[in-house]
Amino acid sequence: MLSKYVTVGNRVELQSVKRLNIEIRDAGNEERKVYSTKVYDIVSDERIELLMPMEQTKLILLPVDGEYELCFYTGNGLYQCVARVVDRYRDNNVYVLALDLITNLRKYQRREYYRFSCALEMNSRELLKEEIESLDHDHNILQPELPLKRSVILDISGGGLKFVSNLAYEKGSLILCNYDLVVDDVPRHYSLVGKVLASSEVENKPGIYEHRVQYINVNPDEREEIIKYIFNQERKNRRKEKGM
């Protein structure tokens, strides 16, 4: 079944099973570490080889016997399973992880929580007290004339985004996120309110802060547009990699 849906070169994300929690329910949840890599080889329907993930230029030596949820980005959508690391080795100067599947491969339905790496312009600011109060009363009264701070989105999903700015937002604060996407060749503008789940200064970049935000007012149509944008960009990237 694995070889029917997954092919060599497919992007795959790994996430520790012990910390698995697909839905981010509140700002107090611990940030989940996700590693991104690619399929190196499909040995059988029970065993797969992945390129060992890296952060910058450092190999991430995931422990043997560690269990991870795998999400495969394929031409037919997202698939996931749980697998156990059984070996680590070097093959033709390539560092490889061998994993045995311990659950069946299944279609992943909650696509909006998967993140797409990017570099997109965004403007942001913290909400005023009266704006927050309007949200509490099911209104959405924002003041668009207030100045915004330039930011850059690093990854995006239908559930939220990660961005950097030279402004430090406090964890738990509500901020306005303004950005544009092109969905099916049509420019779209988004003005979304998000809750800051995590905020920290970027290592070796004093005065630059990285923030992870969960949307709190995205409507279903906007969410689907964002998901469509992500999948369109994934398809474009796969075509580029294949030289098409």
53 and 86 share one domain: yes
Look up the CATH number of the domain holding residue 96. Answer: 2.30.110.10
124 and 233 share one domain: yes
- pLDDT, tens only, 134-172: 776 555 677 877 899 999 999 998 889 999 999 999 999
173 and 105 share one domain: no
The torsion angles phi and psi of 12, rounded to 5 degrees, stand at -140, 140
194 and 149 share one domain: yes
Whether 125 has a pLDDT exceeding 70, the answer reads: yes
Whether 40 has a pLDDT exceeding 50, the answer reads: yes
Give residue 218's pLDDT band: very low, low, confident or very high (50, 70, 90).
Answer: confident
Number of domains forming the structure of the chain: 2
Distance CA 199, CA 77 (A): 31
Instruction: List, as own/partner pairs, every contact residues 89-92 make where C-beta atoms lie below 8 angstroms and the sequence separation is at least 24, other chains included.
Output: 91/40, 91/49
119 and 235 share one domain: yes
Which residue in the block uniquely carries the two structure tokens 């239908």?
Answer: 158
Residue 16 vs residue 136, higher pLDDT: 16
Whether 213 has a pLDDT exceeding 90, the answer reads: yes
CA nearest neighbour of 98 among 43, 142, 33: 43
The domain boundary residue, chosen from 109, 139, 166: 109
93 and 59 share one domain: yes
Look up the CATH number of the domain holding residue 154. Answer: 2.40.10.220
Instruction: Name the amino acid, one letter, at 32.
Output: R
The domain boundary residue, chosen from 109, 126, 158: 109
193 and 230 in contact (C-beta within 8 Å)?
Answer: no
The domain boundary residue, chosen from 86, 109, 132: 109
52 and 78 share one domain: yes
Whether 232 has a pLDDT exceeding 60, the answer reads: yes
196 and 94 share one domain: no
Question: Is the overall model pTM greater than 0.75, yes or no?
Answer: no
Full domain range(s) for residue 61: 2-109
34 and 77 share one domain: yes
So what's the pLDDT on residue 176? 94
70 and 131 share one domain: no
Give residue 69's pLDDT band: very low, low, confident or very high (50, 70, 90).
Answer: confident
So what's the pLDDT on residue 112? 46
50 and 139 share one domain: no
Which residue in the block uniquely carries the two structure tokens 């960009």?
Answer: 233
